[in-house]
Amino acid sequence: MPYNERELLARLIKCEAGGEGDNGMNAVATIVVNRANVPYGEFFRVSQGGNIRNIIEQPGQFTCMMTTVGGQYNAQNIYNMDPEEIHYQIADAVMAGNVFAGVGNSLFYFNPYRPTCPNEFPPGGVGTFYSHIYQHCFYAPTEKYKLT
């Protein structure tokens, strides 16, 4: 039986940002909701009117949704996660519209594995640096994103 949106989001939160504290987990969850609600571009088409499942399951977006990475088994995937109450609380909050202001309208994030964030992500100029929270860099959409 497939996970419902709440369970799927809670598992993604734990997997993608479980070690990033409440702000980091809220920030990652907010990215998912921002993508589901953006009124233009690629994520608008993917979400088909705000479907969080479509955003989370979009191929190639979240490493935690992959059971293999680079041909190797990825043990850090949502299927191996056992969410705790905090992950459900954050999922419930962001799904109810209580998004984390620290990332604004950002649609992208990643861990650069260094203390500084590049000015643009992903490559191609569709995201511009917005904030750095713990290990992750967050990026707001540019005008170029609207054309995706």
Cβ neighbours, 10 Å, residue 88: 17
Question: Has this prediction a pTM greater than 0.85?
Answer: yes
Give me the residues paired with residue 108 across strands: 139
Closest CA to 86 of 137, 23, 3: 23
Query: Where would I find the H helices in 38-122?
Result: 41-47, 52-57, 85-95
Averaged pLDDT, 92-120: 96
Going by pLDDT thresholds of 50, 70 and 90, the confidence category of residue 2 is confident
The model's pLDDT over 5-54, given as tens digits with 9 standing for 90+, comes to 999 999 999 999 999 999 999 999 999 999 999 999 999 999 999 999 99
- Measure Cα distances from 1 to 5, 44, 50 in Å: 12, 27, 22
Averaged pLDDT, 119-126: 93
Do you find a cis peptide bond into 122, omega within 30 degrees of 0?
yes
